[in-house]
Amino acid sequence: MDLKTIKKRSDYEWGIEPSGKMTVPVIIYADESLIKAMDEKVRQQAVNVACLPGIVKASYAMPDAHWGYGFPIGGVAAFDPDKGGVVSAGGVGFDIACGVRTITTGLSIDDIEPVKEQLADLLAHKIPAGLGSRGKLSLNIKQMDEVLVGGARWAVEHGYGTKEDLLRVEEHGAVAGAKPDCVSDHAKKRQEEEVGTLGSGNHYMEVQKVVEIYDEKTAGAFNIAVGQITVSIHCGSRGLGHQIGTEYLKKMAAAAGECGIELPERELACAPINSRVGQEYLGAMRAGINCALANRQLLTHLLRGVFADMFPKAELKLLYDVSHNTCKEELHSVNGQRKRLFIHRKGATRSFGPGDPSLPAELRDIGQPVLIGGTMGTASYILVGTSESMSLSFGSSCHGAGRNMSRTEATRRWHGRDVVRGLAEQGILIRSPSFRGVAEEAPGAYKDVSEVVEAAHQAKLSRKVARLVPIICVKG
Amino acid sequence: MKGRTNRKRWEHFPHEADIGIRGAGATKEQAFEQAAIALTAVITEPGKVAPEQKIEVTCQAGDDELLLADWLNSLLYEMDTRKMLFSRFEVRIEGNHLNGTAWGEKIDVSKHTPTTEVKAATYAELNVRQERDGSWIAQCIVDV
């Protein structure tokens, strides 16, 4: 991004004042080198979002922002329903509630190291991953509707987890207001055999080792220490979410025209929150969130099965589960007033600070765990939400490393076989059905996750707690 | 990554997070067919997919561009629910209606070594146009 097109507000905050059809400024949180490396399209897309009706305060971009479609990936925007605010299917994306959960195991690296190959093979065997894989459950439409309302709660009620797990999931396992009736039979049909599957692309299940702690007190509250093993799962709402996104994008493209909303690009298709299409989308999108929460809960159940077989002393406890692609109804302070707003986070993590009533009792004084997935060769981070983030970004932070290169370019630069061999030499085992898939996800195709996390930390969007490195990565 | 026979061809074009697919042909229908091959090529080499089983799809949309997105999204739905991949396509367009036929086979992970799923054809860089030489282009970004 050309530094002349954006104003430096501080070392970690950059702004574009409103002009033309923008009603609010753009604010990007990043250091100078991340800003320079950011695609010009991020600026354009964040500016387009600043033109949407009813947007409040600013169109935000997180430090990992990159060129998306409609919204930038790493985009955050709040809309006021009382001021004609909109909900946008493009502002949530096709993989509704794609997210990360991290699980502590109570094991140390010494427990894992001698049986690493065996563990990698067993995980690859037991976790349905990649195109054409089928889940262990096949649900009829009635059962599917129960999942779409019940989310991870449904999974726990059916024996796939514990009540304690639910306290560690956003919305305690299920978001309210899901309307299965607003989800088409096509979307449900697409999900029939995909419940409890990992997916592909950048989705993974990763066994990790904690290598550094930045904040002992918070790490203690999160039950993590150096040398310990954690497992992280990155996946979303699978075919159901993809189909909801596809269908409502089309409906909203038509609805926007009917409501006289001028779209800077079609992918920003949206409808007023207080409109029939807007309400139907919210009902369907929430069903998609619950589908993703159930999915990650079912994968956790499979993971627990593998660990129970191999490590009888292991105790797999959910640290937290965060969703990246959502629109959520939340209360926020704007100009001293509490307002009910609809917060779009497109490739951004909720990052609620201490004291938030939605946090479980044991984390209420600490803040929400913010889980940042890195690449299969670098690192992931655990951060904690800050009080400052509530006023800086409606309680949001970055979500990952963020790509800095296209998939096309990545496959030109690297061969999957070499990537897998190189990582094995560093002690990282990759299990994937496709070498080309590995090349597309090569660590070099991403921004430096440490730089992204440092920028989020310095900007006070969230605070660093721990760094984790991959040991085993199962990809779809 | 490109495929070419006469004026018919397909290619991928870069997008930072996802991937662009583009089909070209002497007619709009050919461009749509080639875009579908480009879609398959995001997942696997189209040459690895035997055109053994035939399926039909129909779509309707307000304009050519939305029709292209619908066509590609209908194929993704068929791939997902039938657990199939497709390598040969035939498209007939009349006004806002599209009738398409796709030939393919069930996914075989060891044979097709699928790289990634495609979640959706997006409206980003969505474009259907006729070039000066009379040929047609049909393209969009797909979310992977």
Q: pTM higher than 0.90 for the full model?
A: yes
CB count in 10 Å sphere of residue A219:
20
Q: What gap in Å lies between CA A289 and CA A318, rounded to an integer? A: 18
Query: Is any Cβ of chain A less than 8 angstroms from the Cβ of B63?
Result: no
pLDDT of residue A256: 87
Whether A333 maps to a domain, the answer reads yes
A399 is a catalytic site residue: yes
A406: nearest CA in chain B?
A: B16
pLDDT of residue A405: 85
Task: Give the ipTM of the model, two decimals please.
Answer: 0.92
Asked if A134 and A193 touch (Cβ cutoff 8 Å), the reply is yes
Whether A317 maps to a domain, the answer reads yes
The number of folded domains in chain A is 1
CATH number of the domain bearing residue A342: 3.90.1860.10
pLDDT of residue A232: 98
- Rounded to a whole number of angstroms, the distance from the CA of B82 to the nearest CA of chain A is 9
Sorting pLDDT into bands at 50, 70 and 90, what band is B137? very high
pLDDT over 90 percentage in chain A: 87
pLDDT of residue B15: 83
Of B113, B119, B123, the CB nearest to A242: B119
Distances in Å between the alpha carbon of A99 and those of A89, A162, A166, A292? 17, 20, 15, 8
| Interchain pair B120, A250: CB under 8 A | no
pLDDT at residue B2 is higher than 80 = no
Whether A125 maps to a domain, the answer reads yes
Asked if A267 and A49 touch (Cβ cutoff 8 Å), the reply is no
Residue A157 or residue A407, greater confidence: A157
Asked if B22 and B138 touch (Cβ cutoff 8 Å), the reply is yes
Of A193, A246, A408, the CB nearest to B19: A408
| Portion 85-114 of B in contact with A at CB < 8 A | 107, 109, 112-114
Q: Find which of A41, A242, A420 to mutate to test the B interface (most B CBs within 10 Å of its CB).
A: A242
B105: nearest CA in chain A?
A: A132
Query: Is any Cβ of chain A less than 8 angstroms from the Cβ of B144?
Result: yes
Q: What is the mean pLDDT of residues A373-399?
A: 96
Chain A residues with CB-CB distance to B12 below 8 A: 408
Q: Give me the domain span that covers residue A352.
A: 3-404+446-475
Summary count for chain A: helices (H), strands (E): 15, 19
Whether A430 maps to a domain, the answer reads no
| Interchain pair A407, B124: CB under 8 A | no
Q: Which of A203, A242, A399, A457 is catalytic?
A: A399
A116-126 vs A276-310: helix axis angle to the nearest 10? 140
For the stretch A201-210, pLDDT in tens is 889 999 999 9
| Interchain pair A253, B16: CB under 8 A | no
Whether A164 maps to a domain, the answer reads yes
Whether A69 maps to a domain, the answer reads yes
pLDDT of residue B6: 60
Q: What gap in Å lies between CA A96 and CA B19, rounded to an integer? A: 19
Whether A257 maps to a domain, the answer reads yes
Query: Is any Cβ of chain A less than 8 angstroms from the Cβ of B70?
Result: yes
Under 8 Å CB pairs connecting chains A and B tally to 130
- Rounded to a whole number of angstroms, the distance from the CA of A65 to the nearest CA of chain B is 10
Sorting pLDDT into bands at 50, 70 and 90, what band is A86? very high
pLDDT at residue A8 is higher than 80 = yes
Whether A43 maps to a domain, the answer reads yes
Domains of chain B: 2-143 (3.55.10.10)
In which residue are the tokens 């989020």 written?
Answer: A456
